[in-house]
Structure 1
């Protein structure tokens, strides 16, 4: 059944406007009496019936509030050093499917891409749209947040509230380190938050890793192989899902 994230709802009345309304009418060819799933900003899901199509909006009435458990038991934030091309879009799309709660791009020393502040709002809006569409496709009940790229210092500042903090560091993999990530995974509890820092192409510098280490980030290996910047977040999210959803 088609799923939409909604902004407006009062009691059992829901209104969908704009692009989603056009999708319902023009693409899905739905009419009054058809049903969709509506997800609210509070993470609730409602089986809803279309009652009226007016101008650029679709009006619906809730038939049943449903209990869904689609979100990871822990909140995972992916902090990615700005990569080249459309790799960040891939990380957001697939990371959303794998359960990430938030994406924080940051400008690393080895980031090749230069962030254009003049085009920032337009780019972030595209990132948010990708996250929303991926959340609908994967039947999630919330849309992950995506923020504008920040500096490493700002990232460290916002990381202070997290329960667990790790940084993927390829030098740890080269040294054969295996225990740190597994140890953190084993300690995860429902309601915990974890931020995972991944460098851009070329990785993080020793200075950046040391700065993160001093802010209580734990340098971790993601296995013996060296992963690309767009692959490491998927490895980490899959490991968190396996540990917290399949093993418990």
Structure 2
């Protein structure tokens, strides 16, 4: 089935609502999105996903007849296709709005995980419950839009000195103004075929010399993105998008 023009919506724990060949979900908000926002009619297709399974359904007419319920005839059930090379996104924890963009890019471009990193220039605190909930919802919206059905794992912030060393079969990259271009890195990735790739992005103004030495000691390789200066969240979009396209 070609899913390019079919709407996709997230709902947790879909297996709890699977009855024979039908999904029956009591959820007022989900029904509102389907009938009032998307304005789907009976027999029209819809994708529902929960991060572990993807359901292709058609809307049953009972959805319009019964308030607060969604009825969907199941056409197909699949597991999301994990990337052959996981991308571990490790951006510096930026200011609220900028980091929201980063979270969106992480989900939109298929990162395996999002690990905020605390550097010497980090200027904000992390509210574990509020930040996690807000960023998770942003990633859900990105997954729905991009039809990327594997939701990145959102991890707790980690100090730069606690970042693990790059393993022998993996690659770690950080993006700074350097002689080694992204094109050269692309050739390396194509030939090496690493088991995973970790991508570190620094804060506005870059990292300190001490932090750069620390990254090199941990096995990270520097790479230049563009000849111009990018905002921190823009660097994530360019770097993550470029690497993701190279390994897909």
> Fold conserved (TM > 0.5)?
yes
- Say if 2:238 is the partner of 1:235: yes
| Paired positions, count | 235
Match 1:8 to one of 9, 14, 36? 14
> Which residues in structure 2 correspond to 1:137-216 (within 5 Å)?
137-156=145-164, 163-170=170-177, 173=178, 176-178=179-181, 181-187=185-191, 189=193, 192-216=195-219
Mapped contact 2:31–2:69 kept (Cα < 8 A): yes
Q: C-alpha distance in 1, partners of 2:29/2:228?
A: 43
Please list the CA deviations of residues 67-99 of structure 1 after superposition, one character each: whole Å capped at 9, or x if unmatched: 986x65422122111222401111222342233
Gaps of 5+ in 2: 1-5
Secondary structure in 2 aligned to 1:195?
strand
- Give the TM-score, by structure 2 length: 0.78
Mapped contact 1:78–1:104 kept (Cα < 8 A): yes
Gaps of 5+ in 1: none
Q: C-alpha distance in 2, partners of 1:155/1:143?
A: 22
- Give the TM-score, by structure 1 length: 0.78
Matched with 2:75 is 63
- Say if 2:105 is the partner of 1:94: yes
Mapped contact 1:35–1:50 kept (Cα < 8 A): no
Q: C-alpha distance in 2, partners of 1:15/1:166?
A: 45
